[in-house]
Structure 1
Amino acid sequence: MDKPTASFDADAHAAEIREQGFTVIDDFMSPDALAEFRARLQPFLGGHRGRNDFEGFETERVYTLVARGKVFEDLACEPRLLALLSRFLEGHFLLSATHAINLRPGETAQGIHTDDGFYRQPRSSPAVGYSVIGAIDAFTAANGATEVIPGSHLWSEDDIATRRAEPGGLEKHLVPMEIPAGAAFVFPGKLLHRGGANTTDRPRLAFTNQYCAGWARPQENFFLSVPKEIVRAMSPRAQVLLGYELWPTFMGMVTASHPAKSLEPGWIPPIVAQAPRT
């Protein structure tokens, strides 16, 4: 069987990201994967609504998705996606956030934002994070498709302020990402975008996985949210994405040991005794 990346032109997709700020992978999920996603997610739906306008008062979010089933782990480690991300994030980059988003009827549009604004890097610096949004239901302009501003990943703070002050503001630049179920799009955290409003009578289901440079702090603290017995059963690639690897030369160490050692059953970090200072 051919490798999933054999016919995937990661460089062409990377070029689209550099030029317009996003790229679409049309066949990111198969029909079987979509069905498995729905089946595995179903037990977690129905118990959460957004706590603020950004999360969405009519939106269900299921966080720490990577730990809730093999299908979600496989999505986080999808070979074509990781090949594409490796064009921008060097070395052992990390999974930063992973959750399902069920946009219910009546949900309003988010405010326009970026996904890595919490990293205090100037916009002229390379993006610290990258996001993937996958459509479990087809995205339409009516059901809340993510809306992006093409090219805005190249804008400076002054560019944003200028366009915000123009008639129609930033909103006039928004373009809905209308994609079929099973497709996904990838974009740098600097791209301006928002979740759209769902004006239909049906929910719109999606997921997002976000990644960051190996030296950056992820949004979700997977060391606390994913029990080690679950991590031990994951693939080595997933373990690396969750932080069980070093960023050269020693970032992420556990008491001067490799973090993967902490997954060994019964492992206790060495305690180095120090003589009292006088």
Structure 2
Amino acid sequence: MSHVNDKVSSLTDLTGDLAGTYPRTASSGAAVDEDVVRTDLAAVERDGYVILPDLLSSAELDAIRADVTPLLDRTGRNNFEGHTTQRVYSVLNKTRTCDVIADHPRVLALLDRLFLPNYLLSMLQVINILPGEQAQLLHTDDSFYPIPRPRAPLGAATIWAIDDFTAENGATDVVPGSHTWDDRVPDESVRREPVVMSAGSCVFFVGTLWHGGGANRSDAPRLALTAQYCEPWLRPQEAFTLSTTRDTVRAVSEDIRRMLGYSIHPPFIGQVDGMHPKRLLEPGAPPV
């Protein structure tokens, strides 16, 4: 990393952005109206989730559906993935049409307030629940980080409706308020509330919220996308710096590039050979 200052007199000097050539970039979430963000955040703090309606246009939905449908060639390998659910991983290498959900400003505005700067993308995935699929086991998305509850969330997720989400076709079930629980585990008496929303909408929830995919009792599939995020000092679920090609990283937005790990968490977490990882994208950089 190229340093702005050539002297470090204390550990306090290492807590800021030390990069000279590639300083921290602003999030596009900064453009979202503060009143809107305040309302969204209040719902998240109260319930653990918020529905953000009608964020994608019909043209964006059509483009996503056209690009991901040919990729739906396999079903899940276990009860958690769903034996009657199709999933697509490594989405960024396969289409650009899904980028719009990974870096949507309305979502980033919430992440900007929940996590430290340079938070990371942890997972980007297509999920298509087919007719006959059973309800998924209720779970929390950041439970694999071994820090006792109750605690602040270490991650957050969005699930985007590409098809309408209904109570019959596998809408995601949530347990409102469960983000504040300690080590309690939901039992059969817990109320699962389906997230009913129109295509183009998304549900945003923190990683401590209990939730799960709903049963699809309809006669049609339910297509969705999910993007998950985590604090910048944690290991993401998907190793994007390994799974995403340099050409893909060059093609995505600055927000996504930063969230893939081409960023530094102060003082130097994420460095490559002592340098900012963006140097790997420069002409003449070593190949992947």
Q: Tell me whether 1:156 sits opposite 2:156 in the alignment.
A: no
What is the CA-CA distance between 1:191 and the residue it aligns to? Answer: 0.3
User: Matches of 2:92 and 2:182 in 1, distance apart?
Assistant: 34
Code of the aligned partner of 2:105? P
Determine helix, strand or coil for the equivalent of 1:240: helix
Residues 88-99 of structure 1 mapped to structure 2, 5 A cutoff: 88-99=114-125
Aligned positions, number: 258
- Asked whether the 8 Å contact 2:92–2:248 carries over to 1, the reply is no
- Asked whether the 8 Å contact 2:51–2:202 carries over to 1, the reply is yes
Code of the aligned partner of 1:16? A
User: Matches of 1:191 and 1:96 in 2, distance apart?
Assistant: 17
Deviations 1:138-177 (A, max 9, x none): 11111111110000001111xx25x63xxx433xx11111
Determine helix, strand or coil for the equivalent of 2:170: coil
Q: 1:234 aligned to 239, 252, 256, which one?
A: 252
- Asked whether the 8 Å contact 2:101–2:160 carries over to 1, the reply is no
Alignment correspondent of 1:169: 189
Code of the aligned partner of 1:14? L
Deviations 1:249-269 (A, max 9, x none): 100000101011011232149
Alignment correspondent of 2:148: 122
Q: Tell me whether 1:108 sits opposite 2:126 in the alignment.
A: no
Q: Tell me whether 1:83 sits opposite 2:103 in the alignment.
A: no
What TM-score comes out, normalization by structure 1 length?
0.89
Alignment correspondent of 2:18: none
* Pair 1:178–1:106, CA change in 2 (3 A): same
Code of the aligned partner of 1:184? C
Q: Percent identity?
A: 42
Determine helix, strand or coil for the equivalent of 1:50: coil
Across the aligned residues of Structure 1 and Structure 2, the Cα RMSD in angstroms comes to 1.7
Deviations 1:83-132 (A, max 9, x none): 11111012110000000100001111111110111111122221010000
Q: Tell me whether 1:40 sits opposite 2:67 in the alignment.
A: yes
Deviations 1:163-196 (A, max 9, x none): 63xxx433xx111111111110100011001111
- Asked whether the 8 Å contact 1:145–1:177 carries over to 2, the reply is yes
User: Matches of 2:99 and 2:246 in 1, distance apart?
Assistant: 15
Determine helix, strand or coil for the equivalent of 1:96: strand
User: Matches of 1:61 and 1:120 in 2, distance apart?
Assistant: 27
Code of the aligned partner of 1:151? G
Moved segments of 4+, more than 3 Å: none
What is the CA-CA distance between 1:7 and the residue it aligns to? Answer: 8.1
Q: Tell me whether 1:31 sits opposite 2:58 in the alignment.
A: yes
Alignment correspondent of 1:203: 221
What is the CA-CA distance between 1:36 and the residue it aligns to? Answer: 1.0
- Asked whether the 8 Å contact 2:37–2:106 carries over to 1, the reply is yes
Q: 1:133 aligned to 159, 162, 165, which one?
A: 159
Q: Tell me whether 1:181 sits opposite 2:199 in the alignment.
A: yes
What TM-score comes out, normalization by structure 2 length?
0.86
Alignment correspondent of 1:274: none
